[in-house]
Each structure stands twice: as structure tokens, then as C-alpha cells.
Structure 1
Amino acid sequence: MEAFDEGEIVEPVSPTGQYLTSSSLSIYILAVMETEIPIDDSQTVPLLQNLFLPINSRFSSIMIKDKNGDKKWKKVEVKLGDHIKVPTFQSGNKSSNFLYDEYLDEYMSKIAVEHLPQHRPLWELHIVKYPTSKAMGTLVFKLHHALGDGFSLMGALLSCMERADKASLPFTLPSSQRPKSPIPNTKVVFKRLPSILLRTISEFGWSLLKSNLVEDDQTPIRSCSEDAKIRHINISDVSFSLDLVKEVKSKLGVSINDVLAGVIFFGIRLYMQESSLKSSQGQSTALVLLNTRNIEGYKSIKEMVEKTNTSSAWGNQYAFLHVPIPELTDSKYANPLEFIWEAHKEMIKKKNSLATPLTGMLLDMLRKLRGPEAAAKYLYSTLRNSSTTISNMIGPVEQMAVANIPIKGFYFMVAGSPESLTMTIMSYMGKIRIAFGVEKDFINKQLFKSSLENSLEIIIEAARQIKA
């Protein structure tokens, strides 16, 4: 990291940005776009120069330390050629019908673990021109999490895209159709206060224990290996119609996120049971990432970078919820919808406590008293002691295009976490994509994928048995 020179134009790195670029943690986001036609990269440089870089100064800045040791963003001249990577795969197969799925998988695994150079802005664009079973080409944006969270970076990517059907129209996002809760009166607030306080004490106390003392059991999804900082991962995904999720949602009267959490939890337990029968009842916890902005959709880039805008501002604004993964008992196997009900109850319980803001205050206090490295170590142990993280993003309903290249598939992955399993959820064009990064040579990628697919099928069948 470069030293600070007097007179340089800099801005401070956010507290979360400092945690994510520490000796304990270095987290990256891979945004993967699968193209419908072969990629013509002749417009790459002007698109990045004219559309991507102006979005936020962080895309043309490096991280430095000032004379007090505080991290700052320093604007630099960007040499775009250093950020654009076009790999060459040597297959030995000259057939025009040859598909490069295995080569792409290996390449994704390789770039996921590589650290970006600190002497240039913390992002890269990988242009893979080889066809796979899913696409004619693949674009992979690798961005350091310190640049912003998924909400910020998704807004940035969407600002570089246009609708494939009609470029002049804006993107639309699927409606959550979540009814707004009425504002409770003072009497109701005071009546609920004791239960909120008790729940907060319980949830915050459990969060402290999980982050410091209580580790999840060693299971087929948690290796407990010591080399967590250099853990190699394999990336794969499952895809299915959003309408199937909505069908289950309407049957049970829960949210789409509740259904997806239930599908994931049941799928995880099916995989664990298949790998080791005893492990299906081991103690496992998921860290569910929660966007803390008070917003309903992506704002314009101008709104996001506005200094006075706190509700949808650019940056890292998220929190973790510790959600236990239900054990796979005989009764739950007979009625897998219990996984959805338990996820629903846990999420309601945790959102109705003050544990999340208290955890944020604790991290901030650690940073002020002991420095950002201490806060980063606390965040690292929170991740290390759990079994998986789950993050969720909403993509547009319409098909995207960049430089007249239609994007047929879209998902993202988070790399650099000390866990053996990382999961992400993305909606795009009426489909749900659950992607997962699994520890190489530990978690069986194909078996895990089939477990998720089986979970969805079993849950849909169970929901259809419910009489209207």
C-alpha cells in the first residue's frame, strides 16, 4: 500500500471498507454475465472509460495510508489495459462444437483466489470468449468488496447496461408485494417493549457467543481447515423459475426469501445426510446478509453518490443475521415445508430485535478503541465460526445488453470468505439463480448441486399437496 503525500486529493475509506482490506480479511465480488452471442470486445475500452469509471471515484482510486495510518482513497490515472483480461484456453480440440465448461470452471476458481494488485484500482474485467453449455461467452467483473456492497455495485453495473428490447426504457425490478406495516401507536410500542428487549438480549448475546466462543460443528460443509485465507473454491449454480418460488410462497403465506432460505437449508441437510448420516443433525449456522438501507429498489447513480443521501447511499451498508440451519429429523424429512416455516420464524424473530444495530455499534466501538484490525478480526471470527453465508440480490425483469450483446444469464459470487461454503441468490429475467462456492477437494460440487435441485422438487411437491 502506497504512502500518503501532502496535497493529494483523497477521501477516507469507510470503516467496513477498512475491515474488508485488512490482514484478516480480503473479500471480492465476482459478477458473472453470460452472453447470448459471441463477444466483440472492440468497444470495451470506450465503455469502461465513458460509462464505468465516471460512476464513482473509487473505480479510479487506490487505497493508501495517511501519516496517521488511516486508509484513504487516492485518485490515480487508470491504465485500462491493466484491468482487462482476455484468457486463452489450450484445449487441443479443434472442433467448432467443443464446449469449454471445465476450462471456465478452472479459470473462475483461479481468479477467485487471486488478490488484486494494490498499486492500481481494485477491479478487473475478464472477457472469456469461449462457448460453454450455458453461453457463447462470459464476462466476469471482479471487484473488491471495499469498493461497495452488492447493492452499490449492482447499481453501477446496471448503469452500464441497457434493455435488450428497447434501450430507451429503464429496467424494472420484480415487486416484493410486501404490504406496509401500519405505524403502531404509543400504547402498542410500550406493550411490545419488554418482549423486544428480551429478544434483543437473547439475540445479541447469542451473536457475541457465536462470534467469539461457539463454533459450528465440523461437518461435510465445514472443514475447519487452518488455511482458510488461501482456500480454493469451485463455483457452480442451480437455476429455476421464479414462478415456482411464488407458487410455494402463495401456498404458505410467507416471503420469497423465506422459501429460498428453506430450499437452501433443506438442500444443505440433504447433502450432509448423503455425505455422512450423523452430520445431518450437526449444529450448523448460516450468516444471512441483510441490506440495512431503507429502500425498495436500486436508485440512480446520482442519488447513490449524493453526499446528503443516507437512505440509499453508495458504500457498504449491510449486517449479518445468525440463522441456525434446522436439523434433518424424520418429521422434517416427511414434511420439508417445516424448513421454510422455521426460516420464516427465525427471520421475523431476528428482525424484530435490536441485535443487528447493536452488533454494528460493537464493531464501531472496537474500531475506535482498538483500531480497524481488531474489528476485522472480530468479523473474521464471525465468518469462521459459522458454516455458510447467504446473500441475495434482485436483478431486472427485462433482458440486459451491453454494447449490443444480450446477457442471457447473470449471477454473482463472493470470494475470500474463510468458510467452506458461500451461497448467493440472484433473480434475473424471471429466473432464480442460486450460486455456490464450495471448498475445493472437500465439498462435492455435483452432489451439492443435485441436493439443491432435489430440495426444490420435494418442497414444490409438498406445497402442491396443500389444499387451497
Structure 2
Amino acid sequence: MATTALNPIDINGEKQKHRNREAEEPASPATLLFHTTTLNCCIVAILGYTTKLNVDVIKKGLECTLVNHPRFSSILAMGDKRWKKRWIPTKVNVDDHIICPDLEPDMQSADEFVENYASSLTTKSLDMSKPLWELHILNVKTSEANSIAIFKIHHSLGDGISLISLVLACFRKTSDPNSLPTIPSSNRTRPKIGFFRQLFLSAWLCLTLILNTLVDITLFLATILFLKDTNTPLKAKNGDAFNPRRLVHRIVNLDDVKLVKNAMNVTINDVMMGMLQAGLSRYLNRKYGIIKGSATNNKNNLPKNFRLRGAIMFNIRSSTGIKALAEMMEKKSRAKWGNKIGLALAPLFIGFQENPLDYIYKAKATIDRKKLSMESRFSFTAARIVLKLFGVQVAAALTNRALSNTTIIVSNVVGPQEEISFFGHTLVFISPAVYGLPHSLAIHFQSYCNKMTISMAVDPKVIPDPYQLCDDFEESLAMFKEAVVTTSTLHALP
């Protein structure tokens, strides 16, 4: 009787399948939220360089840095019929992610071209069949740089602070190509006080934290249910989240910000939030003046008692650190990643002040209070619970409603103080922006070296004059600087 030879068992193949399955990671709740129709968000970061970008060098640099990160080398798909969406590792062909149009290097109106190009990216979806990022290289000379690189990254890959840290981990100091960039940290030291005074202070802070959190949670829930911002020339309408966005930015002198900061003994964040409030006050006063037929900078045209709030995104994960991210990419190791974003709703003071520095004092009071609140952690935890109990669509709808009832979204990211380079290409500035949220105005402050970049993603149907808004922010900073210099001069007089 003839026998049939048995095929050998493919042990190596089974092991490889097992390893691949182990490498897959389930999509986090935030990832699922960012892939719903209502919250499909992307980050667009514009990076300017001192020299023309060498495409081959950039490709090789990405292959040994960014591509080694799990999120930048995985696709989001169904891992198995029984599984929910998972991050599945895939082989990355860097050429599929780099777009390098053939351009005239010394074209006229290069600034306008770059702005139009970056803004057009908000109308195009990323290809879900490959990792959700792409890099556009524009070798054109603008008024601010000799070449431009534009990263487009889906927000599901990570929160803004983590992604910026990851990108910076691919860079090295220009002065020392072997050293990673360093991010400045707060060096404020607490004064030493007695034991009983410390005990009393701790109890007071704990009580304040509880009370602030209860008030903020109540207002947050009220915002989801009925509490809306006043309709102003900055407020988006329902459905505006799907409109194309205009990406603009303005670079101001960080030394001017530090001058005001040191003179007032506040933080850079306090100054920037004060500038935000002052700039929005100037802009809205002009808009309401046009409506009333009396558009002047000296007359108060603002209505009384109107509500305008900013949605502030907080990264509630402890920082991974640039060094750890760089080592992770070098060793191709896996690390915990994703979005851990908490949402806090902050009232913005809009009005006229005789003393311009009052905008900063009011901003500081708001920020200090938000630091003594667990609102951002509550919103993060609540979103996870709602998602598990009622599904991602309900969680997305509630998050979208909370955001829709506010006016703007704000973030502030600290960058390196020294010049950094990516494989020989020295960075001039970085301008990050986000789109896909139901706001007509998203503002991001990004520091780097002696520059502070004010980046905005605006809905041109709601805000047709974003450059005027940039002017108002810049003039507000000049107003602060003049005020502190004048005050210092008066104090110095005998």
C-alpha cells in the first residue's frame, strides 16, 4: 500500500506569526476617538531650515530614527475577526511617505506658495493602508528659511507634546552633533518654611484642589449639556470642523517675552496667555466696531458680559524624555505610547484694560487656578469610561459637544534653547498646527532658540483676516514690553 509523505511542519513560520501577533497592540481609546468622523484630527508641522534639504540624506535619516518607532511603522487595522482595531507592524518604504515636488527654488511669492501648500494638506486624507504620516519637502527659499519640510501626522499616533518630543529626538545639537537637544525646565525653588506652616499649607492646597475640581467638573458637564460660549466673530458654527483650514504663523522675539516674564516675575506661559487675551480683545473690538460703524482702537466696542473660553489640551502622561525616545528608536525597542490627553476649559478675559499688564495678571490667575484642579484627568478618565460603556461614537459625540461649545483651542510647547540639526540640516523654526476639531481658531505657541512661533489653523470662512490677528498678537507683546520698560524706568527715578 502506497504511503503519502507528510509535509514538514513550518515551525519557523508559526513562530514568526506568533511574534507578529505579539507585536500588535490594541488601539487605545484616544486612538479610536481620533478615527471617528467627528474627531478625525491631524497635526501639520512646518519646519524651516537654513540650507536646501538633501532628499537622500533625509530618507536615510528617517530610516534610522523615526521609522524605528512602533507607531510610525504600523498600520491601524483589524488584527483578527475577533479583535478590535489594532496597531499592526508593517514594512515601511520611506519613499512612499516622502513627497518632493519639483519646484523653482527662487520662485516669487514663495511664502504664499508654502502657506497655500500647507493649507491644502488639510483637505486631503492620509492613506490608511500605510503608516499614518508623510513628509513634504519644499526646496524653496522663503523670507524665513532656505527650505521647508512639512510633517503631516495623524493625531492617533500620539499627543502633540509626545510627537514634538519624538521629532526633536531625531535631531542633534548643531554645536555638538553627538548631543541630543535639551528642553528647559522650570528652575523655581520653593522657599523653606516651618513644619506646621507646611502642614497648614498642604491642607489648604488639598482643600482648594478638591473645591476647584468639583466646580470645574460641574462646569464641564454643564458645557456638554447646555453651557455655550457667546456667538462672536471667532465662534465656529455647527459643521465648520469639516471646512478647510488656513495655516498661518508669526514669529516673535522670545527675548521680548522673557523680558516681560522676568520683569513681572511670571512664567512664559503666563505672558503668552496674556498676549492671547490682549490680541483677541483688540481683534474683537475692531470687529464689533465695524458692526457698530465705529471701528477705532481707542474706543471700547466690546459687548458686556459675554463668555469666551479656550479648550486647553493637557498631556497627563509623565514625560518620556527626549533621551529615552532617541534610545528607543536606536534600539528599535517598544515603549508605551499613544494619546493621554486631558481637556480643561479655561475662561479668557476679553475686554479693555488701562494697564496692559493686567491681561497677564488675569491670565496668571486663571492658569494658577487650573493647576490646582483635576479637571483634565477627570475628562480623560470620563472619556475612557463612556467609551467602554457606550461605545466610541457616543464618547466622540460628547467630546465634540464639549469642544463645540467653546471658542478656541490653545496649546503651548517648549522647544530647545540651542540650535539643532537633522543630519546636517539646521532648523530655523518649527510651526505646529492641528485641524479636524470643531473650532474656527486653533492656536499653538512653540518656542525654539530665541524665537516664539505663534501658529494658527483658522477657518477662513469665519476668520478671513488671520494676518490681522497675527498683527494684534505681535502688537500686544510690544505693548507689554513698553509697559514693563516704562515701569522699570519710573522705579529707577530718584
TM-score w.r.t. the length of structure 2 is: 0.84
* Residue 390 of structure 1: how far off its partner (Å): 0.9
Q: Quick one: which amino acid aligns to residue 464 of structure 1? A: V
Q: Quick one: which amino acid aligns to residue 178 of structure 1? A: R
* Residue 25 of structure 1: how far off its partner (Å): 0.8
Other-structure match for 1:462: 483
* Residue 97 of structure 1: how far off its partner (Å): 6.3
From 395, 405, 409, give the equivalent of 2:429. 409
Taking a change above 3 Å as real, the CA distance of residues 352 and 95 of structure 1, as seen in their structure-2 partners, is closer
The question of whether the paired residues in 1 share the 8 Å contact of 2:313 and 2:410 is answered with yes
From 315, 339, 344, give the equivalent of 1:316. 339
Taking a change above 3 Å as real, the CA distance of residues 68 and 228 of structure 1, as seen in their structure-2 partners, is farther
From 357, 360, 370, give the equivalent of 2:377. 357
Other-structure match for 2:132: 122
* Residue 356 of structure 1: how far off its partner (Å): 2.4
Q: Quick one: which amino acid aligns to residue 341 of structure 2? A: Y
| Matching of residue 177 in structure 1 with residue 198 in structure 2 | no
From 3, 9, 20, give the equivalent of 2:34. 20
Structure 1 range deviating more: 241-250 or 7-16: 7-16
CA deviation profile, 1:47-101 (whole Å, cap 9, x unmatched): 22222211x2111111113435622101122232221112345xxxx89463411
Other-structure match for 1:163: 173
Other-structure match for 1:300: 324
* Residue 173 of structure 1: how far off its partner (Å): 2.3
The question of whether the paired residues in 1 share the 8 Å contact of 2:343 and 2:375 is answered with no
Which segments of 5 or more consecutive residues in structure 1 lack a partner in the other structure? Answer: 1-5, 306-311
The question of whether the paired residues in 1 share the 8 Å contact of 2:180 and 2:322 is answered with no
Other-structure match for 1:289: 313
Other-structure match for 2:13: none
From 420, 443, 448, give the equivalent of 2:469. 448
* Residue 345 of structure 1: how far off its partner (Å): 1.0
Partner Cα separation in structure 1 for residue 422 and residue 264 of structure 2: 39
Other-structure match for 1:202: 215
Other-structure match for 2:12: none
Number of aligned residue pairs: 450
SS at match of 2:235: coil
Other-structure match for 1:59: 72
Taking a change above 3 Å as real, the CA distance of residues 411 and 178 of structure 1, as seen in their structure-2 partners, is farther
SS at match of 1:138: strand
Taking a change above 3 Å as real, the CA distance of residues 72 and 180 of structure 1, as seen in their structure-2 partners, is farther
SS at match of 1:276: helix
Other-structure match for 1:77: 91
Q: Quick one: which amino acid aligns to residue 235 of structure 1? A: L
Q: Quick one: which amino acid aligns to residue 324 of structure 1? A: P
The question of whether the paired residues in 2 share the 8 Å contact of 1:173 and 1:297 is answered with no
* Residue 436 of structure 1: how far off its partner (Å): 0.9
Partner Cα separation in structure 1 for residue 119 and residue 205 of structure 2: 49
RMSD: 2.6
Partner Cα separation in structure 2 for residue 170 and residue 50 of structure 1: 15
Q: Quick one: which amino acid aligns to residue 340 of structure 2? A: Q
Which segments of 5 or more consecutive residues in structure 2 lack a partner in the other structure? Answer: 1-16, 290-300, 330-334
CA deviation profile, 1:286-334 (whole Å, cap 9, x unmatched): 11222323459644216779xxxxxx953322322211111213xx1x1
Q: Quick one: which amino acid aligns to residue 73 of structure 1? A: W
Structure 1 range deviating more: 116-125 or 177-186: 177-186
Structure 1 range deviating more: 58-67 or 189-198: 189-198
SS at match of 1:465: helix
SS at match of 2:184: coil
Partner Cα separation in structure 2 for residue 95 and residue 164 of structure 1: 25
Partner Cα separation in structure 1 for residue 107 and residue 374 of structure 2: 56
SS at match of 1:466: helix
Taking a change above 3 Å as real, the CA distance of residues 192 and 57 of structure 1, as seen in their structure-2 partners, is closer
The question of whether the paired residues in 2 share the 8 Å contact of 1:113 and 1:416 is answered with no
The question of whether the paired residues in 2 share the 8 Å contact of 1:155 and 1:299 is answered with no
Structure 1 range deviating more: 192-201 or 212-221: 192-201
CA deviation profile, 1:209-259 (whole Å, cap 9, x unmatched): 1233222122121131x3323221112122222221122112222211011
| Matching of residue 235 in structure 1 with residue 259 in structure 2 | no
| Matching of residue 269 in structure 1 with residue 289 in structure 2 | no
SS at match of 1:435: strand
From 373, 380, 396, give the equivalent of 2:400. 380
SS at match of 2:32: helix
CA deviation profile, 1:141-188 (whole Å, cap 9, x unmatched): 111111111222122212222222220233222343233587986554
SS at match of 1:380: helix
The question of whether the paired residues in 1 share the 8 Å contact of 2:235 and 2:440 is answered with yes
SS at match of 1:236: strand
| Matching of residue 245 in structure 1 with residue 266 in structure 2 | no
Q: Quick one: which amino acid aligns to residue 427 of structure 1? A: S
Q: State which structure, 1 or 2, has the greater radius of gyration over its C-alpha atoms.
A: 2
Q: Quick one: which amino acid aligns to residue 179 of structure 1? A: T
Structure 1 range deviating more: 119-128 or 376-385: 376-385
Partner Cα separation in structure 1 for residue 473 and residue 241 of structure 2: 27
Of all paired residues, the percent bearing the same amino acid is 27
* Residue 262 of structure 1: how far off its partner (Å): 0.4
From 439, 451, 455, give the equivalent of 1:431. 451
SS at match of 1:300: helix
